[in-house]
Chain A
């Protein structure tokens, strides 16, 4: 299966990737090659199979939402923000 340029750009936008012209040429080839390879999966009869999402997974588990000792990390997290005003992260204008 070949992915047309337009499809590639649509998919890239969905993934919030802005591709340059040369980049998109390379990626068009690489993505198409993989999609072609994925066609191999069509040979398998999966009619009576259930999908596996996780190989081993127990039921839903919950824990209390509380700060554990030694895990007060909010200041350290904020230090990684590209731009701060007090304890707020700055973004360009939304409107």
Chain B
């Protein structure tokens, strides 16, 4: 098959690609809705409305198909958030980040599976289906943007959008052997992203190559009047080669799966060979990251998910005799177990009498984490961390139960608490599974991350699974 930007325009090639994608997705189940024709119409409309505002040479994504996590709004596509409560909800509008890509010429081909409202690390918490990892169908693709990562890893699309509240882009990208960018908080508009934890989350990109990751981010970032917390592009400039990477000494005492430990060591070795200056730094607050993260995330979730009341939209219990009963019963029927757990926890930590002990303390620890990282960036350009303590696991809770999955967010949720950008890049394949590593940089220094993982890509490009892969050279 030809290059990505030629796939949709030639009817014969389009048909071939669509059939192949549908056939592979039967095994992987990454899409909740797949309708490229609808996406083509939407992009044509946006491009017509855009007129000649964007110069043809700036249309870097023209004709390129992409997938969108199903908690990000695309008009006339469903917006289920992987939840029963929104199983019939059709989005009345499109998220700003998606509109920007459409105006540039990119085409939404479908909506991808996720853990309900983005709450989970395996896509097992979806109310609809279980997505499988293209590298091993018996394993999870990670989560919560598991469908998006699996779609890119299977070669169905060259990039997909996800959202990252505590690692939901980077962890599935790592499990599937592709790149995942969690941008600086506020750099990409959240208008059209269904809110889970507003102070932590951001829309980001999962892609097969660093150049695609970079192009997509470049098109979709920037201030948006519809998102109060969005920030103007403040691209940092760098003088000379940026080659100082620090890794926290605390990693020595944290338990890592052997293949992750091995990949961490080999990544350090590879960067040294490329001429990078690798040094040890200290992040003493690392061990408090997960507790602070879950207090803040659940508190915000309990407030954000209060909007699902069964009255204005969503699942409704028609047998209820009064509004309160309707609300109680609709929410109970519509939400899954993990969502209920997080709403309960969040409600509890915000209750009068407990706020200081939990929520306020977590916010103060958040300050300490930010300061730790600021101190680190005084001596190094970027911080290297694993993405997750282990590679893709098997579903069902035996290898990783919901509690241990939460503890494993230690390396990813750090960047969300600090609001800084982080990228997950494939660093090795061990025991048949890809293993990702992560680089964190100061706010607005995405360019630095692209440069560093671009260097690594020259030595180790994104690997492709032997099966369940749409090989475009066929």
* C-alpha gap A8/B402 in the complex (Å): 19
DSSP class of B's interface residues: helix, strand, loop or mixed? helix
- When distances are taken between beta carbons in the complex, the residues of chain B under 8 Å from A17 are 328, 331-332, 335, 340, 343-344
Most chain-B CB neighbours within 10 Å: which of A20, A35, A38, A80? A38
Contact B328 A18 (CB under 8 A): yes
Instruction: Return A72 CB to nearest CB of chain B, in Å.
Output: 10
- When distances are taken between beta carbons in the complex, the residues of chain A under 8 Å from B324 are 16
Q: Does B292 contact A (CB under 8 A)?
A: yes
The 3 A-B residue pairs with the shortest CB-CB distance, nearest first, are: A55-B419, A76-B92, A51-B363
- When distances are taken between beta carbons in the complex, the residues of chain A under 8 Å from B332 are 17-20
- When distances are taken between beta carbons in the complex, the residues of chain B under 8 Å from A71 are 93
Instruction: Return B326 CB to nearest CB of chain A, in Å.
Output: 6
- When distances are taken between beta carbons in the complex, the residues of chain B under 8 Å from A57 are 186, 229
Looking at the complex, which one of B287, B328, B337, B345 makes contact with A16 (CB distance below 8 Å)? Answer: B328
- When distances are taken between beta carbons in the complex, the residues of chain B under 8 Å from A42 are 361
Query: Count of B residues near A, CB < 8 Å?
Result: 79
Minimal Cβ-Cβ distance residue in A for B187? A56
- When distances are taken between beta carbons in the complex, the residues of chain B under 8 Å from A16 are 306, 309, 324, 327-328, 331
Looking at the complex, which one of B229, B313, B323, B344 makes contact with A91 (CB distance below 8 Å)? Answer: B323
Contacts A31-B348, A38-B291, A57-B229: A80 and B89 contacting too (C-beta < 8 A)?
A: yes
Residues of A within 8 A of B (CB): 3, 7-8, 11-12, 14-20, 23, 26-27, 30-31, 33-35, 37-38, 40-44, 46, 49-58, 61, 63, 69-71, 73, 76-77, 79-83, 89, 91-94
* C-alpha gap A12/B351 in the complex (Å): 12
Q: Does B261 contact A (CB under 8 A)?
A: no
Q: Does B370 contact A (CB under 8 A)?
A: yes
Question: Can you show 20 pairs from A to B with CB atoms below 8 A apart?
Answer: A11-B351, A15-B344, A17-B332, A18-B329, A19-B340, A23-B337, A41-B358, A46-B368, A51-B367, A52-B370, A52-B417, A54-B419, A63-B226, A70-B49, A79-B90, A80-B89, A80-B92, A83-B316, A89-B311, A91-B323
Contact A27 B340 (CB under 8 A): yes
- When distances are taken between beta carbons in the complex, the residues of chain A under 8 Å from B349 are 38
Contact A37 B326 (CB under 8 A): no
Contact A30 B351 (CB under 8 A): no
Q: Does B225 contact A (CB under 8 A)?
A: yes
